[in-house]
Amino acid sequence: KPLVFSGVQPTGNLHLGNYLGAIRKFVALQENNDCIYCVVDLHAITAQLVHDDLRGQIRSIAAAFIASGIDPKKHIVFNQSAVPQHAELAWIFNCVARIGWMNRMTQFKDKAGKDRENASLGLLAYPSLMAADILVYRATHVPVGDDQKQHLELARDIAQKFNIDFQDKIRATGTGVDMVVGEEPIHGYFPLVEPLIDGPAPRVMSLRDGTKKMSKSDPSDLSRINLMDDADEILKKIRKAKTDPEGLPSELEGLEGRPEAANLVGIYAALADRTKADVLAEFGGQQFSVFKPALADLAVQVLAPISLEMRRLLDDTTHIDAILRDGGERARARAEKVMGEVFDIVGFLR
Ligand code: TYM
């Protein structure tokens, strides 16, 4: 049975990329799956150790989940540090994964910058904790934006190596399952996770530069639409969004080599739950002076109720805190069971 897991870091304001690349997909997946959605606070201290208001940030991501439509009763919403098994499994994965694998991660290279020797060890081991987040529930499907693809490939490599290295122990403890990897039938403990990256906006780009990803860390606030922006700010940012002088094409091929136009069409399609082709069938031949106001209206229509509900939820933190506590307890019960089996496989006494 599929089990969905994903996480969002409580660092800085959520933006349209986080919403379209991840949270909106979390909401849709609830319908037919068992889902676990996590505020990854342990990850938040890898790049920057000390935060002004980490608790507030954690609550605000949880509020964004709930305000967007995630049901914390049917599914699980919690913060990572509430379940110590994440860190415990990450340690074992640190011993499974190779340093070379970590050194190849493009996100590590970007975040560590030139002075790599001076990056935290946690930043290097980040993908190992991420693999543990997913696999401590033996989750199978992970909705994320395109930028997390390489990390999920690494999670598969870690699961694969664990399954192979401990093959005999997995059989001896009777904890494994028969699975098919590619064409190859194996008996493994951890599933090889499937990334869910599809949709019209797997990589939302900056509104100021269609070749750069929309990001929390871009110094220009005009480059992104924040989930908490009000209608005026959204209108202004879309009006000022960079475009080329041509109008919109009628066919998808017409977006090639036009990153800014492609980005805005992708955003429209994702917000409207339509395909890009469908959006172009409607707006093909129109100028941006027509398309931009339509896009801004749609963005406000989708985002305004979310930010309103977020503000309401954050007004009094008791409700959010209760949701996180309850989710943490339910997540911990599941993780404890898996960690018990992992202890048996590895051969720790318990
Ligand atoms: P984070 O917190 O940077 O981002 C949260 C989610 O938003 C997606 N995203 C985007 N999608 C489309 N366009 C963009 N411009 C854009 N920017 C961000 C991210 O892909 C992500 O899905 N390592 C993860 C958090 C994490 C995690 C996990 C995810 C920790 N453990 C386990 C899945 C499973 C991260 O830093 O996401």
| Distance, CA of 211 to CA of 259 (rounded, Å) | 7
Domain 221-314: top CATH class: mainly alpha
Q: What is the pLDDT of residues 76-108, one digit of tens each?
A: 999 999 999 999 999 999 999 999 999 999 999
Whose C-alpha lies nearest to ligand 1, atom 4? Answer: 8
| Distance, CA of 266 to CA of 36 (rounded, Å) | 27
| ipTM greater than cut 0.85 | yes
CA of 266 to the centre of ligand 1 (A): 18
Tell me which of 3.10.105.10, 2.170.130.10, 1.10.540.10, 3.40.50.620 is the CATH number of domain 3-200+317-346: 3.40.50.620
Q: What is the pLDDT of residues 283-329, one digit of tens each?
A: 999 999 999 999 999 999 999 999 999 999 999 999 999 999 999 99
Please say if the pLDDT value at position 184 is more than 90.
no
CA of 43 to the centre of ligand 1 (A): 11
Average pLDDT, the chain: 97
Measured from the Cα of 43, ligand 1's closest atom is 30
Specify the long-range contacts of residues 253-261, CB closer than 8 Å, at least 24 apart: 254/280, 254/284, 255/280, 258/210, 259/205, 259/210, 259/211, 260/205, 260/210, 261/210, 261/288
| Distance, CA of 157 to CA of 139 (rounded, Å) | 15
Please say if the pLDDT value at position 183 is more than 90.
no
3 state SS of 59:
helix
Please say if the pLDDT value at position 180 is more than 90.
no
Question: Where in the chain are all domains bearing CATH 3.40.50.620?
Answer: 3-200+317-346
Q: What mean pLDDT is predicted for residues 274-281?
A: 97
Active site residues: 111, 213, 216
CA of 149 to the centre of ligand 1 (A): 10
Q: What mean pLDDT is predicted for residues 67-81?
A: 98
Question: Where in the chain are all domains bearing CATH 1.10.240.10?
Answer: 221-314
Please say if the pLDDT value at position 281 is more than 80.
yes
CA of 191 to the centre of ligand 1 (A): 21
Residue 34: pLDDT band with limits 50, 70, 90 = very high
User: What is the CB < 6 Å shell around ligand 1?
Assistant: 5-9, 17-18, 21-22, 40, 43, 130, 133-134, 142, 144-145, 147-148, 151, 203-204, 213-214
Please say if the pLDDT value at position 182 is more than 80.
no
CB 240 within 8 A of CB 207: yes
Of 157 and 1, the one with more pLDDT: 157
